[in-house]
């Protein structure tokens, strides 16, 4: 054994124990001093660090078990092992998770707006009758396009403001894209789908049964987490969503300074959970169509909606083929794994 | 300058970035969250006209900043995890940022690890899978395998050293043969 190797042995022990989280304060100081004093120790730490990172990444993506145990259809190349598969990289679970996390909170808001955008504004206006009419609006096929701005709330949103376009109608039809577009996700009333530029289209029909059926083995963990959340309103049928609003929010009319508009405010009864705690709507007094809306969360996140268009779109427009043409399609359904 | 799309480059360094994140958070969930946040920053940067001369160095800085922000937020909101000493945090971050290992070497290391994993005896591989698939604690793993937490920790330490040694040997052999 070389002199250098001898000296590194105790450092190696400290490094391994560090990744186990079992060092005390004194040992952490000892490790810090060792790393600061020796380039070789630093290199040893870095190589263990990469090893640890890869094991976590491989584990999260389900690549640590016997390859024969992996479900067919979701076997992919680990991300930082060459050669790199373009499709897979464009759709790593991390990215999907993030862009879904960004998008779904917006879609929830859009879904709420949808319920109030059918031109069925009640007369005389009161909060309860708005909700009654909203149920009709939910089933009524009306296409709306909203520009959405989201800011604040966490490390990411503080750093950047998100701008997205949402096209939405009743019957679980919607498409969400960032203004400068690098992905699209939506539902055509039958399947939920998502796609990023250059990658395949991921589709699922029954997201609710996916988590228990697939567990950790599927790479798309972010999507599963969102789908499994009982607060993930995006995935709810409209009647359920309306019921949730009725159950969870107090809705009131607010005096509007513009006689051409109606202003509604929904306030979350319980501060628990991650839903917006205040939702403000400004709607056209004649048509009842919501012109803009603001949603505020307890953590400071703010989402603004502004209607930009009311296009007439075909049913097919909400299908993934219209937004990600000529892409390979990867279906992820619970039945595939049973 | 590498013309590969930024997000693709970012994903190729996933192991390295996740390693750093885990090293300073020792929380797999938080590491994944920070990694995702940084990925969105990378995507947004791709849509801007500015040119990034050294993507890896730039992405490291993005990851570090996101991590420090997340650690501060966690330390404020919970006392469940003891914060890492500032001295160690600084020296690890400094080493991460200044690490100039060639990207190709990092990828070779990843390939070597895969080969080394394939040579692990089944029970050791199972142990690794239990630990890293769901970030299970030693207590949880010990329940599963019918051992004690301390024994599980020791066994996993041995396996990691074994894997590390295996990777280094493979890299050395590859270097000698080239």
Share of chain B above pLDDT 90, in %: 33
For residues A277 and A106, the model is more confident at A277
- Is residue B85 scored above 80 in pLDDT? yes
Does pLDDT of A146 surpass 50?
yes
Closest CA relative to residue A64, chosen from B19, B122, B138, B128: B128
B103 Cβ contact list (under 8 Å, min separation 6): B12, B13, B56
d(CA A42, CA B91) in angstroms, rounded, equals 9
* pLDDT tens digits along A61-72: 667 765 544 333
User: Is residue A108 predicted with pLDDT exceeding 60?
Assistant: no
* B46 contact residues in A (CB cutoff 8 A): 182
pTM: 0.50
Q: Is the pLDDT of residue B26 over 80?
A: yes
In chain A, % of residues over pLDDT 90: 12
Distance from CA of A31 to the nearest CA of B (A): 7
Most confident of A48-62, A299-313, B159-173: B159-173
Of the residues B4, B5, B7, B19, the best mutation for testing chain A's interface (the one with the most A CB atoms within 10 Å of its CB) is B19
B window 128-157, beta carbon within 8 A of A: 128-129, 131-135, 138, 153, 156-157
Identify any residues that bridge with A283 across adjacent strands, giving them in sequence order.
A262, A290
How does residue B143 score in pLDDT terms, banded at 50, 70 and 90?
confident
Q: How confident is the model at residue B162 (pLDDT cuts 50, 70, 90)?
A: very high
For the stretch A3-29, pLDDT in tens is 444 444 789 999 999 998 889 989 999
Task: State how far the Cα of A211 lies from the Cα of A227, in Å rounded to an integer.
Answer: 8
CA-CA distance, B25 to B35, in Å (whole number)?
A: 12
How high is the pLDDT of residue A261? 78
Alpha carbons B124 and B163: distance in angstroms, whole number:
11
Tell me the ipTM for this assembly.
Answer: 0.91
The whole-number pLDDT of residue A288 equals: 59
| Higher pLDDT, residue A101 or B78 | B78
Mean pLDDT calculated for residue range B67-71? 89
Per-residue pLDDT band for B157 (boundaries 50, 70, 90) equals very high
Single out the residue of B16, B164, B6, B29 nearest to residue B95, CA to CA.
B16
Is pLDDT at B148 greater than 80 in this prediction?
yes
Cβ atoms of B175 and B112 within 8 Å: the answer is no
Would you say residue A123 has pLDDT above 90? Answer: no
Instruction: Count the Cβ atoms, other than its own, within 10 Å of residue A78.
Output: 23
Burial class (CB in 10 A: 0-12, 13-18, 19+), A309: exposed
| Tens of pLDDT, residues A243-302 | 555 667 787 778 777 777 777 788 887 765 566 788 787 776 666 566 677 878 777 777
Query: At B37, which helix (H) or strand (E)?
Result: helix B28-46
Which positions ≥6 away from A271 have C-beta within 8 Å?
Answer: A277, A298
Q: Does B97 touch chain A (CB under 8 A)?
A: no
Residue A165 pLDDT > 60, yes or no? yes
Nearest CB partner across the interface for B95, out of A35, A58, A95? A35
pLDDT > 80? residue A307: no
| Mean pLDDT of the residues in chain A | 63
Between CA A214 and CA A191 the distance in angstroms is 18
Instruction: Give chain B positions within 8 Å (CB) of A94.
Output: 14, 32, 35-36, 39
Determine contact, residues A269/A248, Cβ cutoff 8 Å. yes
Average pLDDT over residues A23-50: 93
Please name the member of A47, A78, A159 whose beta carbon is closest to the beta carbon of B164: A47
Q: Which of the four pLDDT bands, split at 50, 70 and 90, describes residue A99?
A: very low
B8 Cα to chain A: minimum distance (Å): 6
Cβ of B158 under 8 Å from any chain A Cβ? no
Q: Could you tell me whether strands A278-284 and A302-309 are parallel, antiparallel, or unpaired per DSSP bridges?
A: unpaired
> Dmax of chain B from CA atoms?
57
> Strand order in A249-254's β-sheet?
A249-254, A261-268, A278-284, A290-296, A302-309, A144-151, A162-169, A173-178, A183-188, A192-196, A201-204, A329-331
Q: Which of A273-287, B9-23, B40-54, B113-127 has the lowest mean pLDDT?
A: A273-287
Give pLDDT tens digits for A169-209: 655 677 777 776 666 777 787 877 777 666 677 777 754 44
Structure confidence at residue B158 (pLDDT): 93
Number of neighbours of residue A208 by Cβ within 10 angstroms:
11
Under an 8 A CB cutoff, do A89 and B12 touch? yes
Q: B102 pLDDT exceeds 50? A: yes
CATH class of B102-177: mainly alpha
Residue-range domain boundaries for chain B? 4-98, 102-177
Q: Say whether residue B167 is in contact with chain A using an 8 A CB cutoff.
A: yes
The packing angle between helices B86-98 and B14-25, to 10°, is 170
Which has more pLDDT, A195 or B107?
A: B107
Please say if the pLDDT value at position A104 is more than 70. no
The answer to whether residue B53 neighbours chain A at the CB level (below 8 Å) is no
A13 burial class (0-12, 13-18, 19+ CB within 10 angstroms)? middle
Max mean pLDDT among A55-59, A286-290, A299-303, B72-76 falls in A55-59
In the structure encoding, which two tokens stand for residue A288, read together? 């009842």
Higher pLDDT: B154 or A74? It is B154
* pLDDT value of residue A228: 35
Nearest one of B73, B44, B72, B74 to B58, comparing CA atoms:
B44
The distance of Cα B101 from the centroid of its chain, to the nearest Å, equals 15
Task: For residue B164, give both structure tokens.
Answer: 């590390």
Check residue A289 and give its pLDDT: 60
Quick one: pLDDT at residue A338? 36
Question: How many Cβ atoms sit within 10 Å of the Cβ of residue A147?
Answer: 16
């Amino acid at each position: 054994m070389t002199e250098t190797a001898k000296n590194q042995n105790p450092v190696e022990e400290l490094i391994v124990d560090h990744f186990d989280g079992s060092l005390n304060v004194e040992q952490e100081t000892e490790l810090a001093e060792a790393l600061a004093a020796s380039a070789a120790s630093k290199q040893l730490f870095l190589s263990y660090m990469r090893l640890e990172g890869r094991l976590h990444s491989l584990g999260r993506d389900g690549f640590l078990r016997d390859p024969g145990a992996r479900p067919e259809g979701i076997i992919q190349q680990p991300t930082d092992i060459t050669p790199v598969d373009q499709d897979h990289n464009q759709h790593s679970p991390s990215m999907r998770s993030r862009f879904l996390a960004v998008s779904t909170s917006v879609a929830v808001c859009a879904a709420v707006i949808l319920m109030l955008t059918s031109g069925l504004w009640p007369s005389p206006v009161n909060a309860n009758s708005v909700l009654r009419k909203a149920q009709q609006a939910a089933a009524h096929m009306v296409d709306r396009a909203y520009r959405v701005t989201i800011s604040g709330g966490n490390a990411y949103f503080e750093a950047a403001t998100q701008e997205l376009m949402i096209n939405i109608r009743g019957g679980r039809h919607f498409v969400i894209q960032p203004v400068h577009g690098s992905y699209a996700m939506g539902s055509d009333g039958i399947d939920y789908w998502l796609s990023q530029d250059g990658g395949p289209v991921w589709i699922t029909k029954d997201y609710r049964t996916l988590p228990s059926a697939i567990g950790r083995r599927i790479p798309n963990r972010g999507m599963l987490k969102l789908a499994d959340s009982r607060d993930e309103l995006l995935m709810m049928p409209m009647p359920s969503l309306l019921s949730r609003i009725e159950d969870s929010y107090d809705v009131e009319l607010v005096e509007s300074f513009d006689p051409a508009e109606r202003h509604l405010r929904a306030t979350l009864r319980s501060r628990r959970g991650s839903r917006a705690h205040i939702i403000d709507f400004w709607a056209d007094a004649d048509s009842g169509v919501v012109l803009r809306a603001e949603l505020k969360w307890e953590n400071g996140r703010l989402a603004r909606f502004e209607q930009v268009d009311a296009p007439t779109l075909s049913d097919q427009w909400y299908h993934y083929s219209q937004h990600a043409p000529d892409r390979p399609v990867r279906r992820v359904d619970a039945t595939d794994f049973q | 300058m590498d013309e590969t799309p930024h997000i693709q480059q970012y994903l190729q360094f996933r192991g390295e970035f996740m390693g750093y994140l885990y090293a300073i958070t020792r929380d797999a969930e938080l590491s994944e969250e920070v990694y995702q946040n940084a990925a969105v920053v990378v995507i947004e940067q791709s849509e801007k006209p500015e040119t990034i001369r050294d993507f890896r160095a730039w992405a490291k800085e993005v990851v570090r900043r996101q991590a420090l922000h997340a650690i501060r937020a966690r330390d404020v909101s919970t006392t469940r995890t003891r914060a890492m000493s500032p001295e160690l945090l600084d020296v690890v971050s400094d080493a991460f940022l200044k690490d100039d290992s060639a990207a190709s070497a990092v990828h070779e290391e990843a390939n070597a690890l895969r080969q080394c994993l394939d040579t692990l005896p089944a029970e050791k591989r199972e142990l690794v899978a239990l630990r890293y698939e769901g970030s299970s604690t030693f207590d949880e793993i010990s329940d599963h395998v019918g051992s004690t937490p301390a024994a599980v920790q020791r066994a996993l330490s041995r396996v990691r050293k074994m894997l590390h040694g295996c990777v280094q040997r493979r890299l050395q052999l590859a270097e000698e043969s080239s």
